[in-house]
């Protein structure tokens, strides 16, 4: 059975311009063609675009995009100490169960995350298999298409491996678009080696640059391969895997030494429409505002916008008090690594302590200018008594890039899934465990120096031509911003490890990585149970909740996936034994 997406993907390809920038992912299909044309160079390119589409979370019929959003604000954010579900108690109850670590195999969000990732795998495999039938294509194009497909297949499988302890790996050798039985692959082996093989093949065969942004390069594959190795860098007890960290370090050093990337001057430029695909970007999920095709926009975070005008919906994904407190700094401008959560940053009365300036580029808080819109107030929040006064911000577009069809939550703000600061902090992690503590300090200080750049947070008048800084009164900072570098040499590995991990949280807060960072470091149970003990006194729905070690680090395999894996009367998928 030929699936409809194959036809639509091919038609989509017909409207691509070779130099169209990021538009190759945003064209709307205009008609239908026979499936006989798919075994051509153009047809295979169209099939490959079908796999790219799954990066956006909008490629599944009848499924809300936030249930399969690659930005992971649900599974990487709400499931961590960074964020609450937000909004009110009754909305999206599936997320409430995830927030409370009550992971169930019938949860619709978990089910649809599985469906989306394996749909992406299927489309990548279909492109590879169809390419095998194409004779009239030059070797360079054939090599590039396979490399892009393997990059995507490796990426989707890695996302699955982050979600589930033992997901299956489905290769092009076993996959058959016309035989549903071919996807019924048992989950009885560790898939990290297959993920690494895909990403290594992509790294070895992708070009160093691409004519169209949004397609991965050799360097993006290298960074993704390094990420895969970093996710194997610690065991469940938090013990370092020196071999994997050494392999990751070699790749990360190569990226740094290439000189191809740099930290952009302004931290906020990593989260704006007008500064997409900048010098810090290694790989971005591309979005666009297009009145003819709303699926080209960044729909996955549509719910995670403030509840006030101009969005009007929906108030999900609110920053936790714990995260807000993490941005406190000492008089010396350093993080409070051990006691940041001893007291709260206040919002009903003026907070007089010191803060890392990244706080006001990462989340919305009362009394502070929210991007270039207006002063954040309680009108931004659907129910302050339920989930507090703070909102999410990084994914929200500035005025230049929002609005389609009357719903201002659909934006053209890209998701920077790989950026250079990640490379620097992954490398710092590796240096702490197997290299030089002083090199780790140097790398962390590079990130902190950028965060402290006056161009990134010196206040300007709200009425001025540049309204992307935060202030209430012209010329007066909105907070006591105070961030400095680590000047004392690092001699203690434990302290260095703590400092690097804390910096990682601050730099990438509310970007969907936190839960998976805690998971890979082997510290999720310890960190999240401490979080729940305190947050349970602030948020009634978290009172008495616990994170179960060696269970809640991963999600259960969806019941639907197990039921549909029957082959010869027996399921080929086995549930995680911890569930």
Whether 43 and 31 have beta carbons less than 8 Å apart is answered as: no
**If DSSP codes are grouped into helix, strand and coil, which group holds residue 186?**
coil
Report pLDDT digits (tens) over 31-86: 434 345 688 999 999 999 999 999 887 766 667 777 888 899 999 999 999 999 99
CA–centroid distance for 83 within its chain: 14
Quick one: pLDDT at residue 296?
72
Residue 263 contacts residue 447 (beta carbons within 8 Å): yes
Report the alpha-carbon distance of residue 380 to residue 369 in Å, rounded: 12
**Distance between CA atoms of residues 571 and 184, nearest Å:** 9
pLDDT tens digit string along 181-219? 899 999 999 999 999 999 999 999 999 999 999 999 999
SS3 label, residue 189? coil
Helix (H, G, I), strand (E, B) or coil at 190: coil
d(CA 80, CA 528): 7
Strands (E), 526-565: none
Query: Would you say 29 and 219 are in contact if contact means Cβ atoms under 8 Å apart?
Result: no
End-to-end CA distance of the chain: 35
Whole-angstrom distance, CA of residue 41 vs CA of residue 46: 9
Question: Distance between CA atoms of 223 and 231, rounded to whole angstroms?
Answer: 12
Residue 229: φ, ψ to 5°? -70, -35
Tell how strand 363-364 and strand 566-567 pair up: unpaired
DSSP-derived 3-state class of residue 404: strand
**CA atoms of 262 and 200, how far apart (whole Å):** 24
For tokens 């006056």, the residue is 454
Give the model's pLDDT for residue 288. Answer: 81
Q: What is the DSSP string of 83-145?
A: EEEES-TTS-HHHHHHHTT---TT-HHHHHHHHHHHHHHHHHHHHHHHHTT--SS-HHHHHHH
Q: Which residues of the chain have pLDDT under 50?
A: 1-35, 291, 457-470, 472
Q: What is the predicted pLDDT for the residue at 398?
A: 85
pLDDT at 4: 38
Structural domains of the chain ordered from first start = 4-260+552-571 (1.25.40.390), 294-512 (1.25.40.390)
Angle, nearest 10°, between helix axes 514-521 and 493-507? 160
Helix (H) or strand (E) holding 510: none
What string of DSSP letters covers 418-484? EEHHHHHHHHHHHHHHHS-HHHHHHHHHHHHHHHT-HHHH----TTSS---S-EEETTEESSEE---
- Beta strands 566-567 and 369-370, pairing class: unpaired
pLDDT of residue 294: 58
pLDDT, position 293 = 58
């Amino acid at each position: 059975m030929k699936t409809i997406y194959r036809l639509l993907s091919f038609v989509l390809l017909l409207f691509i311009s070779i130099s169209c920038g990021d538009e190759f992912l945003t064209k709307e299909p205009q008609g239908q063609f026979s499936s006989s044309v798919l075994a051509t160079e153009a047809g295979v390119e169209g099939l490959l675009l079908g796999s790219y589409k799954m990066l956006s979370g909008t490629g599944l019929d009848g499924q809300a995009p936030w249930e399969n959003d690659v930005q992971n604000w649900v599974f990487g954010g709400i499931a961590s100490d960074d964020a609450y579900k937000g909004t009110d108690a009754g909305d999206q109850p599936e997320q409430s169960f995830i927030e409370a670590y009550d992971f169930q195999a019938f949860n619709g969000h978990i089910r649809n995350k599985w469906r989306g990732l394996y749909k992406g795998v299927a489309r990548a495999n279909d492109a590879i298999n169809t390419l095998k039938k194409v004779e009239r294509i030059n070797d360079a194009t054939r090599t590039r298409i396979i490399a892009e497909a393997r990059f995507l297949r490796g990426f989707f499988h890695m996302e699955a491996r982050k979600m589930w302890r033992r997901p299956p790996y489905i290769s092009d050798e076993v996959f058959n678009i016309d035989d549903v039985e071919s996807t019924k692959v048992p989950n009885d082996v560790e898939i990290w080696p297959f993920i690494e093989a895909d990403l290594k093949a992509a790294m070895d065969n992708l070009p160093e640059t691409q004519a169209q942004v949004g397609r991965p390069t050799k360097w993006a594959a290298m960074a993704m391969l390094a990420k895969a190795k970093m996710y194997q860098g610690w065991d469940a007890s938090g013990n370092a895997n020196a071999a994997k960290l050494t392999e990751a370090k070699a790749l990360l050093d190569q990226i740094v030494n290439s000189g191809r990337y740099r930290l952009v001057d302004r931290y906020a430029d990593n989260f704006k429409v007008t500064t997409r695909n900048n010098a810090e970007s290694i790989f971005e999920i591309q979005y666009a505002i297009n009145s003819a095709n709303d699926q080209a926009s960044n729909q996955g975070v549509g719910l995670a916008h403030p509840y006030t005008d101009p969005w009007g919906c929906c108030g999900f994904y609110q920053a936790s008090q714990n995260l807000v407190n993490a941005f406190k700094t000492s008089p010396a401008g350093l993080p409070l690594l051990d006691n940041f959560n001893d007291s709260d940053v206040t919002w009903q009365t003026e907070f007089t302590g010191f803060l890392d300036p990244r706080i006001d580029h990462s989340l919305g808080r009362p009394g502070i200018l929210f991007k270039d819109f207006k002063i954040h107030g309680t009108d931004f929040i659907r129910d302050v008594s339920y989930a507090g006064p703070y909102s999410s911000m990084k994914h929200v577009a500035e005025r230049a890039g929002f609005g389609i069809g009357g719903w201002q939550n659909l934006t053209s703000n890209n998701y920077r899934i790989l950026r250079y600061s990640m490379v620097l902090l992954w490398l710092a992690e590796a240096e702490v465990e197997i290299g030089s503590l002083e090199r780790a300090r140097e790398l962390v200080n590079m990130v902190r120096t950028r965060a402290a750049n006056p161009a990134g947070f010196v206040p300007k008048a709200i009425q001025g031509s540049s309204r992307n800084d935060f202030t209430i009164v012209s010329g007066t900072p909105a907070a006591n911003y105070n961030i400095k570098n680590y000047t004392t040499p690092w001699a203690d590995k434990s302290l260095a490890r703590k400092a690097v991990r804390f910096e990682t949280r601050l730099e990438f807060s509310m970007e969907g990585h936190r839960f998976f960072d805690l998971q890979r470091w082997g510290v999720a149970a310890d960190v999240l149970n401490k979080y729940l003990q305190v947050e349970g006194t602030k948020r009634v729905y978290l009172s008495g909740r616990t994170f179960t070690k060696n269970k809640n680090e991963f999600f259960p395999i969806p019941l639907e996936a197990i039921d549909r894996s029957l082959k010869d009367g027996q399921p080929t998928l086995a549930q995680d034994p911890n569930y």
